[in-house]
Amino acid sequence: MPNSQATDQPSLPGTIGHIAGVICSDGFPTGDRARLRRMVPGQPVPLAFTRFAVAHLPEDWERQVDDWVTIVAGIATMAPGAHRPGHGLGRALAEAGYSEARLERLLDAQGDTRRTLLLRAARYLAARQTPCDWADCARLLLTRDEAKADRLRLGIARDYFSNLKPESTAA
């Protein structure tokens, strides 16, 4: 079961893997997945989210509820092929043809704007059936230490540019 220190590096990938495994499983109720997919950070959450959160999110999820809403909604949006451990967000976005301008806006954004842009990126990846490591997305939202956040954003950008197709680098 997820532990209470969700932003610890060793536990976050396990927590995200667990969340994705539950939401993406054939046994997960389709109606609940649809309700989770429609969630918007900052808006009242459906009971389906609270039920899911109590059972599957870290104990302190309420301290960063909008971030967890974004993570769960993004995974539900990309289900059933949402999470691919080791396939970083930057790499997935590059492979899917996500524009550099969009990536820059996502990495520069904060708060609700970042959450909104991350959900848009999830829809973009879902439309192209390109899974990513949702632990990267979770870290992007949950990391509060600015030095760690800068390293994370730099890593996502590095992975993006390392995986761009040659024709994608023009204009």
Q: Does 11 have pLDDT greater than 80? A: yes
Nearest alpha carbon to residue 116 among 136, 141, 95, 135: 141
- In the prediction, which pLDDT does 3 show? 39
Cis-peptide, bond into residue 80, ω within 30° of zero: yes
- In the prediction, which pLDDT does 38 show? 97
Q: Could you tell me the pTM of the whole model?
A: 0.90
Range of the domain at 143: 11-169
Any domain includes 58 = yes
Any domain includes 2 = no
* Six token digits for residue 40: 């918007």
- In the prediction, which pLDDT does 19 show? 98
- In the prediction, which pLDDT does 169 show? 47
Those residues with Cβ within 8 angstroms of residue 61's Cβ, 6 or more apart along the chain or in another chain:
6, 53, 68
- In the prediction, which pLDDT does 72 show? 98
Any domain includes 4 = no
Any domain includes 5 = no
- In the prediction, which pLDDT does 98 show? 97
Any domain includes 17 = yes
Beta bridge partners of 132: 83
- In the prediction, which pLDDT does 7 show? 44
- In the prediction, which pLDDT does 167 show? 63
- In the prediction, which pLDDT does 5 show? 40
Give the domain CATH number at 145. Answer: 1.10.520.40
Number of H helices, E strands in the chain: 9, 0
- In the prediction, which pLDDT does 166 show? 73
* Six token digits for residue 13: 């990938």
Any domain includes 6 = no
Q: How many structural domains comprise the chain?
A: 1
Between vectors from CA 22 to CA 19 and to CA 23, what angle results, nearest 5°?
Answer: 85
What whole-number distance in Å separates Cα of residue 80 and Cα of residue 19?
A: 12
Instruction: Give the pLDDT confidence of 35-90 residue by residue, as tens digits.
Output: 999 999 999 999 999 999 999 999 999 999 999 999 999 999 999 999 999 999 99
Beta bridge partners of 83: 132
What whole-number distance in Å separates Cα of residue 72 and Cα of residue 138?
A: 10
Q: Does 9 have pLDDT greater than 70? A: no
Instruction: Give the pLDDT confidence of 89-138 residue by residue, as tens digits.
Output: 999 999 999 999 999 999 999 999 999 999 999 999 999 999 999 999 99
Q: Does 165 have pLDDT greater than 60? A: yes
Contact 83, 25 (CB under 8 A): no
Any domain includes 97 = yes
